Structure 1
């Protein structure tokens, strides 16, 4: 029999924290202890922030981003270029592009990738909504910013097939050697792709 060292409330907090990505049971215990020790400074504000997020955060009906308004802040920003749509797998990818300040167009979140193994079909993703958006005469280009995985590339090829017949250009992100990367540390797939995508100096 495992000896219990804390009350059920603390155990529940630890168990819930352990469900978060990147946190195992040991990390969850440390996080829970830190929150409890800093109850007024961290635990209470976190509780309030989580309640606010639960009550106010929604999914944008246009692009799939998460925000407190629908349509989201990005979709309603008049400074955004509405002729281009960047397609990403998940909201985290959208946030990464925004952090890098690398895109000033609109976005479309697929909600994942096609996967025969996991049983994820086209109708399980927001591909249909993307095709509808691409049919808008204002849209001139669709940028496929999906991951360079088998599932990501399969999804990209499927989308390209679905976009045929529409008057819209398609492109994808370049893949290859990262800035600051050393060839000796890169995998063969990355090196091969970088070589294929070489360009004049």
Structure 2
């Protein structure tokens, strides 16, 4: 244990995801050695995040205005919505440059043990989007891109149940299987099973 402000800083940093006490300690002592101008820039960036970052009123992605840049982009296909858990998932899909539709961020996944039910997620907002036209176009496909874990699967199943009442809507799920460059012997049973059930014809 260190004294005063340095221990307070270590304690706060250790609360961040992916940082334990040792990582927090390394960052704290790194910050002790940098010029004051760097600390000021970090403080200003944190203040801007607190004061200026909001969530898009349409999709729930992080945004600096009422609508995010993706929802404002007229070139995006408004008939397709990719449903993700968190804003960071939007960036992961955007990096592929494969998806040209819009997004809907749920704000998490169903986790009854953690106290997260349907009412804590942005599911009502998604259903509202399906009931309205945007630029004269209705949504024809929902791509469920929740994480391939217990909570993500539960969320995907719940969404499928909610969306089956929309007759002209296609609901798809991201394929999951073997990573490129991987060896079969190192794949777990669930991943290998998903790869088998999701197999497709070679053309």
* Fold similarity call, TM over 0.5: yes
Instruction: Kindly report which structure 2 residues correspond to 1:72-111, keeping only aligned pairs within 5 A, or say none.
Output: 72-111=68-107
92-101 or 21-30, larger mean C-alpha shift? 92-101
130-139 or 28-37, larger mean C-alpha shift? 130-139
Shift of 1:190: 0.3
Distance 1:133 1:46, change over 3 A: same
Alignment partner, residue 118 of structure 2: 122
Q: Report the Cα distance in structure 2 between the residues aligned to 1:153 and 1:27, rounded to whole angstroms.
A: 32
Instruction: Kindly report which structure 2 residues correspond to 1:163-182, keeping only aligned pairs within 5 A, or say none.
Output: 163-166=163-166, 167-182=168-183
Structure 2 portions without partners, runs of 5+: none
Q: Report the Cα distance in structure 2 between the residues aligned to 1:122 and 1:94, rounded to whole angstroms.
A: 21
Q: Report the Cα distance in structure 2 between the residues aligned to 1:45 and 1:174, rounded to whole angstroms.
A: 42
Question: Do the aligned residues in 2 keep the contact of 1:109 with 1:126 (CA within 8 Å)?
Answer: yes
Instruction: Kindly report which structure 2 residues correspond to 1:29-178, keeping only aligned pairs within 5 A, or say none.
Output: 29-40=25-36, 42-137=38-133, 138-166=138-166, 167-178=168-179
Shift of 1:121: 1.5
Question: Do the aligned residues in 2 keep the contact of 1:61 with 1:71 (CA within 8 Å)?
Answer: yes
Question: What is the TM-score normalised by the length of structure 1?
Answer: 0.91
Q: Report the Cα distance in structure 2 between the residues aligned to 1:181 and 1:70, rounded to whole angstroms.
A: 42
Shift of 1:64: 1.0
RMSD: 1.5
Deviation string, structure 1 residues 108-160 (Cα, Å, up to 9, x no partner) = 11111122222321111111111111223421110000112222122112111
Deviation string, structure 1 residues 32-77 (Cα, Å, up to 9, x no partner) = 1111211345322111111111110001121111111111111111
Structure 1 portions without partners, runs of 5+: none
Secondary structure at the aligned position of 1:106 is classed as strand
Question: Do the aligned residues in 2 keep the contact of 1:86 with 1:108 (CA within 8 Å)?
Answer: yes
- Tell me if 1:21 matches 2:13: no
Secondary structure at the aligned position of 2:109 is classed as coil
Q: Report the Cα distance in structure 1 between the residues aligned to 2:31 and 2:96, rounded to whole angstroms.
A: 31
